[in-house]
Amino acid sequence: MEKYVAYYRVSTKGQAKSGLGLAAQREIIERFIGNDKDLIGEYEEIESGRKDKREILWTAIAHAKKERAKLLIARLDRFSRRVSFIANLMEEGIGLTIAEMPTATDFQLHIFAALAQEERRLISERTKAALQQAKKRGVELGKNGKVLAERNKEEKERFREYLLEEIPDASMLPLAEIARRLRDSGQLTRRGTEFSLYSVGRYVSESLINTK
């Protein structure tokens, strides 16, 4: 029976107190473990995904290595938001399993992480540019930010649910094949256009990886 050490992470104390983030991760892990896998340890941490120096994460990794087990995370974003961090650990021979993408290869994990990282960079640049232009026009900033963020979060979640229901093997398919299936089913992007190879990569990475 294959052994696993689970690692759960939330970014803030508020998330930890609410239990929502941890509860969702635990549910995914429990579903993956089932009755045919051995969960030998569990670790929880409150820390930003941008930080690589996380004491509890490294304790979990040490436990997994000692017991020759795999490190188990519910979703890739709960592990790290940096491709380099993920790549370095893989190069050191640390076995990593993502419960939501259990059949994903190391190569596929690199692709999903890279897509998410690049999209976050582009969003940050676009946001900064838009804010600068708005300030020049004398626009009051921050007024509609929460509403827009909530709307985007809901859109991402709806798309994620669609993927899991209609294309459950999305994490194993080439992006071109996912794009074809989305076009055939009549699905459109947020802007009302058909899915291209780039847009499906961005949407899939957000839906399978993104956290907020």
Question: Could you give the CA distance from residue 39 to residue 35 in angstroms, rounded to a whole number?
Answer: 10
- The answer to whether the beta carbons of residues 102 and 32 sit under 8 Å apart is yes
pLDDT single digits (tens) 102-158? 888 888 887 877 776 777 677 778 777 777 776 777 665 565 666 666 666 666 667
Are 127 and 50 found together in one domain? no
Task: Please state the domain count of the chain.
Answer: 2
Residue 103 lies in a domain: no
- End position of a domain, from candidates 48, 63, 98: 98
Residue 39: C-alpha distances to residues 5, 70, 192 (Å): 6, 10, 44
Identify the DSSP state of 192.
Answer: S
Residue 164 lies in a domain: yes
pTM of the model: 0.55
Are 9 and 89 found together in one domain? yes
Are 82 and 154 found together in one domain? no
Beta bridge partners of 46: 10
Q: What's the rounded mean pLDDT across residues 18-22?
A: 63
- Torsion angle of alpha carbons 51, 52, 53, 55, nearest 10°? 100
